[in-house]
Amino acid sequence: MNPSTPRLTRVAPEGSGPIRNPLLNARPRAGSGPGSPPDASLRGALECAVQTAYAVIDEYMQRGYEAARHSQDRQNGTGHMNSERPNYGNLFNPWGPMTPLMEQWSAAVRAWTDAWSAFLPGGRPGAWPSQAWTAAATGYAAGTPTPPVSVEVASLRPTEVTVQLKPGASLTDLVADSFVPPLLKGVSVQNKAGRIQVRVSVANEQPAGRYNGVIRAAGGSIVGDLTVVIAEPGKDAA
């Protein structure tokens, strides 16, 4: 070899990390059989399959919306849709957008109740039992507003009252009942000129604990729920 002849060299390829995402690096297996489709047609098949999947899920969800809307129409006796995404008024319908509103009212009522409790003998502001974490913002707008709610609590012990009302429900001839465990007495719910007034009077002999009840309107339909948490003397309502 002539030492004066420069050796041919190739520029070394730039170093790059391994491609970890197989979604970018997918290749068919070698030897996949005679007439194996080339990469281009496989990619076409992939895109077609994803489009099919989107069509399946979109149609599925549309059928769900339709079914829920029909269910809502049957409950209300109307065929009117409030919006493009129907306002599913069923309190327990997980498809509905009412939950953000319920949470807002629930939080507001807790704040009112805490303020009342502080002024009662032996009362101290209560705390929601176990929600020590802050929910991340979801960026979803609230739904249709419900009437304002006021809560009056008469109790010698810290008492927390939570009221949740179904948006859009007819709120006439309200009554709170069906408490579990049974509440001795002293809960009333009234609609006074568009303002919902809740009065809770806790008897001294009422055992401490959590009492879950429902709020009914005319005809007995459930339009909300009401929870009363009575603390032991000297403790928070938690």
Residues in touch with other proteins (CB under 8 A): 20-23, 26, 28-29, 32-34, 36-37, 42-43, 45-47, 49-50, 52-57, 60-61, 92-95, 97, 99-100, 102-103, 106, 128-140, 164, 212, 225, 227
Alpha-helix residue ranges (DSSP H) falling in the chain? 22-25, 39-76, 99-119
Residue 98 CA: distances (Å) to CA of 6, 93, 112: 79, 9, 21
Residue number with CB closer to other proteins (47 or 173): 47
Residues in Cβ contact with 80 at an 8 Å cutoff, skipping those fewer than 6 apart:
73
Token pair in block for residue 185: 């007495």
Q: Which residues contact 5 (CB under 8 A, 6 or more apart)?
A: none
Q: Count CB atoms within 10 A of the CB of residue 160.
A: 27
Compute the distance between CA of residue 182 and CA of residue 193 in angstroms, rounded to an integer.
30
Q: Pick between residue 38 and residue 121 the one whose CB is nearest to other proteins.
A: 38
Indicate the residue among 32 and 172 with the shorter CB distance to other proteins. 32
Q: How far apart are CA 134 and CA 10, in angstroms?
A: 59
Q: Minimal distance in Å, beta carbon 187 to other proteins?
A: 16
Using DSSP, how many helices (H) and how many strands (E) does the chain show? Answer: 3, 7
Q: Find the shortest distance in angstroms from Cβ 28 to other proteins.
A: 4
Instruction: Answer for the pair 165, 193: CB distance below 8 angstroms, yes or no.
Output: no
Closest distance to other proteins from the beta carbon of 162 (Å):
8
3-state DSSP assignment of residue 120: coil
Q: Across the chain, which distance is largest between two alpha carbons, in Å? A: 110
Shortest Å, Cβ 3 to other proteins: 51
Cβ closer to other proteins: 66 or 173? 66
Smaller CB separation from other proteins, 27 or 80: 27
Rounded least distance, CB 118 to other proteins, Å: 22
Closest approach of Cβ 106 to other proteins, in Å? 8
Residue 119 C-beta: closest distance to other proteins, Å: 25
218: enclosing H helix or E strand: none
- Residue 99 vs 188, nearer CB to other proteins: 99
89 versus 97: smaller Cβ distance to other proteins: 97
